[in-house]
Chain A
Amino acid sequence: MKLPAAVRDKGIVLVPLLTTIILWEVLARYVVKNPAFLPRFSEVIFAFYLLRERIIPDILVSLLHFGIGLLLAFSLALPLAIAMGWFKTIFRALDPLIEILRPIPPLAWIPLAIVWFHLTHYAAGFIIFLGAFFPILIDSYTGFRNVPRVLVETGKVLGCIGDKKLIRYVAFPFALPSIATGTRVGMGVGWMCVVAAEMFGVSRNGLGYRLFNEFYYWKQMDYVIAYMLILGLISLLLDRMFRHYIEENLFRWRKGIVK
């Protein structure tokens, strides 16, 4: 029996997914037999039900931290990227500093975050900012650095006199896909910092806070995994929404060349 193409295409996604779930359930139920080591899939699903009233407030608090961090990262990285990408001197001056700061893990900034911002949402936002800032900055300035000379010169002969007009009419539209890519990567890295940003207790809510300071503390591993899955799903959702938005609104001109 042959399945219709649409079913086969969608079905291919489900095969590894279902296999993993079944393997997990069998392994936990018949081999491990210890929910504190590996809870069953069915227990995790039940955990969602038990946690149903706490999930939404925790998500909202985490999104608040994420929003603070991302907004700050984007609004600082973009002007800096324009300056570094367009003016070679600024790039040469700032590049070493950026490259020294960039490899420091956001986790290592937690002491300073607490000292500077105390136990506030801004301290958590700061850790997420550190995760999101560098990918946005680097992809964006690469976009500005790569503007082809012929497009800049075309802009000049058509009347873009001065850096301001050239940036606005030529460099910025050219760099927009890179800015979007950087923002997407930055969103991903920023979200990965949510647990780190919340585990030192800036508030009594938040996915990361709950996962680390409550569920792990009480060794409720089914709850831990439930929150891990939520963390993953929200990131996936944010990424999809962002991608959909930029592809529909910004890059109609690229349709057909990318992918």
Chain B
Amino acid sequence: MNHKLTLRNVSKTYNSEEGEIKAVEHINLEVKPTEFLCIVGPSGCGKTTLLRMVAGLDYPTSGEIILDGAHVSGPSPDRGMVFQEFSLFPWRTVLKNVEFGLEIRGVQERRRIAEQYLELVGLLDFKNCYPQELSGGMKQRVAIARALATNPSVLLMDEPFGSVDAQTRNVLQEELLRIWERTEKTIMFVTHSVDEAVYLADRVAVMSARPGRIIQCMKIDIPRPRKRTSVETNVIREKLLTLLVSQYPRIG
């Protein structure tokens, strides 16, 4: 078995006041080791729910999620997560934030490891700063370092660059690719931006509107470093956008 992460027939139903809401339905997905997988879909399609189920923060109503041959049941540091919202602990310095997961596990050399990951995201000089002294982009880089510090088997990212400005976003994407190549992590990255997915991913999974199903998986063979404006990039973007537009209900 050559798969890092397997989602088998995963469905999730919420109980709300208006009755049952199907968030995602019959998701089958296989992620290979060191693969960079992006999930795109219209808002509310359940892509975040899908990621949260892999993280163990939500539970599937049916189906199973298997990571490294073991069933996922609840959160664990073998799955690092970067949230869209800024999630640094404001009372801890940058260094102490990155040390957090190691501290919980009682790792003795946590300081050295944390500094190594801060170096990787280029923020070692800011290790003694508090989060509110950092810009949005820097906060997310620290969050990435913190997620990597416990050496997770897979890195889950939920629109991590959704709250930073466009220029910073481009820089962070390049940074992330560099980090990914250095650490050889398996990454599952949720975004609503087709551009971002095409720039980053080895493979893009496109989800339908609610209840979310995977309607297509598209391999992206463009060699890196990719050019955001090249013809081949645009061809794939066009295809993905057409697929996505078909998922929005017609207005008017």
Contacts and interface: CB of A to CB of B under 8 A. Distances in A.
B132 A154 contact: no
A257 interface: yes
B87 A158 contact: no
Contact of A158 (B57, B85, B150): B150
Given A150-B85, A169-B104, A256-B132, A158 B91 contact: no
A171 to B, nearest CB: 11
Given A151-B89, A173-B89, A253-B91, A158 B83 contact: no
A153 interface: yes
A169 B101 CA distance: 10
Given A165-B104, A173-B89, A158 B132 contact: no
Interface in B71-99: 74-77, 79-81, 83, 85-87, 89-93
Interface residues of B, number: 30
Contacts of B89: 151, 154, 170, 173-174
Contacts of A27: none
A44 interface: no
A176 interface: yes
B59 to A, nearest CB: 13
Interface string B13-56: 00000000000000000000000000000000000000000011
Interface of A: 148, 150-151, 153-154, 156-161, 165, 169-170, 173-174, 176, 252-254, 256-257
Given A165-B104, A253-B92, A253-B132, 11 more contacts: A153-B75, A154-B89, A156-B57, A159-B104, A159-B105, A161-B74, A169-B100, A169-B104, A170-B89, A174-B89, A174-B91
Interface of B: 55-57, 74-77, 79-81, 83, 85-87, 89-93, 100-101, 103-105, 130, 132-133, 146-147, 150
